[in-house]
Amino acid sequence: MDITFLGTGTSQGVPVIGCSCAVCRSVDYRDKRLRVSVHLQVQGKSIIIDSGPDFRQQALREQIDHLDALVFTHEHKDHTGGLDDIRAYNFRQQQDMPVHAEPRVLDQLRREYSYIFAEHKYPGVPQVEVHPIISDDSSFWVEGVEFQPIRALHYKLPVLGFRVENFCYVTDANYLSPEALERMRGSEVIVLNALRHEEHISHFTLAEAVAILEDLAPSRAYLTHISHQLGRHREVEAELPSFIRLAYDGLRISL
Ligand SMILES: [Zn+2]
Ligand SMILES: [Zn+2]
Ligand SMILES: [Zn+2]
């Protein structure tokens, strides 16, 4: 399995519009963070988790010329704002795009993108094939690839992370139940969100994420959904245990 980090930034991205802090002014390419998304190439399939407002730019940058499915963690706009751009794949592949999400998330997509779901569609609008994720307890299949849901809380909002083979991806969480942690245990690579140092109402802090990862002890772990408030990539990473790295946009890993 090959994984490419399409974006690793929090909802505003890094740099933040109008901000002149040291991180936003950094010339290190690893301090430029688009909104979170990850591309999985697994069992011959090309699958993206979340398509935020930077989706088009990310797909162009990584030359993703084929996409088999989209899977959503939750309905926040920094994760869903790029849905319209799947039209490129509709045109290229001449088929509807399978979209997997929980029913609540699908309802939100129906409201925000009413033209996609309209009975009488305008020509050329995105074509989706909806697949509700109905259980957070049992696996679902995305184009034949097994996804195990990992239930997390994002303040009070239930969101999903996923385990695919020995790869776990959990973003926008600040609580994982003991059962969710057990589902992640034994995986080779874990990606977890870590927003900043100070406490936040809906995201793990760096210290909270590190504590979870030290307990789960995967071979490698990567932090994502990073704010400009976390600090410069190079300086933050130097303080971390060697098996935990900060993800950055364009990072590719293989399992
Ligand atoms: Zn987010
Ligand atoms: Zn800044
Ligand atoms: Zn969110």
Please compute the mean of the pLDDT values over residues 1-16 and round it to a whole number. Answer: 98
How far apart are the CA of 81 and the centre of ligand 3, in A?
A: 12
Q: What's the confidence (pLDDT) of residue 156?
A: 96
Q: What's the confidence (pLDDT) of residue 143?
A: 98
pLDDT tens for each residue of 24-49: 999 999 999 999 999 999 999 999 99
**Which DSSP string corresponds to the chain?**
-EEEEEE-B-TT-BSPTT--STTTT---GGG-BPBPEEEEEETTEEEEE---TTHHHHHHHTT-----EEE-S---HHHHTTGGGGHHHHHHHTSPEEEEE-HHHHHHHHHHTTTTS-SSPPTT---EEEEE---SSS-EEETTEEEEEEEEEETTEEEEEEEETTEEEE-S-SEE-HHHHHHHTT-SEEEEE---SS--SSS--HHHHHHHHHHH--SEEEEESB-GGG--HHHHHHTS-TTEEE--TT-EEE-
Local confidence band at 12 (pLDDT 50, 70, 90 cut-offs): very high
Q: Is the peptide bond before 15 cis (omega within 30 degrees of 0)?
A: yes
Q: What's the confidence (pLDDT) of residue 59?
A: 98
Please compute the mean of the pLDDT values over residues 46-53 and round it to a whole number. Answer: 98
Please compute the mean of the pLDDT values over residues 62-69 and round it to a whole number. Answer: 98
How far apart are the CA of 163 and the centre of ligand 2, in A?
A: 32
Burial of 60 (0-12, 13-18, 19+ CB in 10 A): exposed
Q: What's the confidence (pLDDT) of residue 16?
A: 98
Q: What's the confidence (pLDDT) of residue 172?
A: 98
Q: What's the confidence (pLDDT) of residue 64?
A: 98
How far apart are the CA of 28 and the centre of ligand 1, in A?
A: 23
β-strands 2-7, 37-42 pairing: antiparallel
Mean pLDDT of the residues in the chain: 98
Q: What ligand has the least distance to the C-alpha of 159? A: 3
Determine what percent of the chain is predicted with pLDDT higher than 90: 100
Domain 2-254 has CATH 3.60.15.10: yes
Q: Which residue has the tokens 């009070």?
A: 156
Please compute the mean of the pLDDT values over residues 81-99 and round it to a whole number. Answer: 98
Please compute the mean of the pLDDT values over residues 128-132 and round it to a whole number. Answer: 98
In the structure, ligand 2 is a single-atom ion and the residues with CB under 5 Å from it are 16, 19, 21, 24, 228
How far apart are the CA of 104 and the centre of ligand 3, in A?
A: 14
How far apart are the CA of 120 and the centre of ligand 1, in A?
A: 32
pTM more than 0.75: yes
Q: What's the confidence (pLDDT) of residue 176?
A: 98
Q: What's the confidence (pLDDT) of residue 180?
A: 97
In the structure, ligand 3 is a single-atom ion and the residues with CB under 5 Å from it are 76, 172
Local confidence band at 11 (pLDDT 50, 70, 90 cut-offs): very high
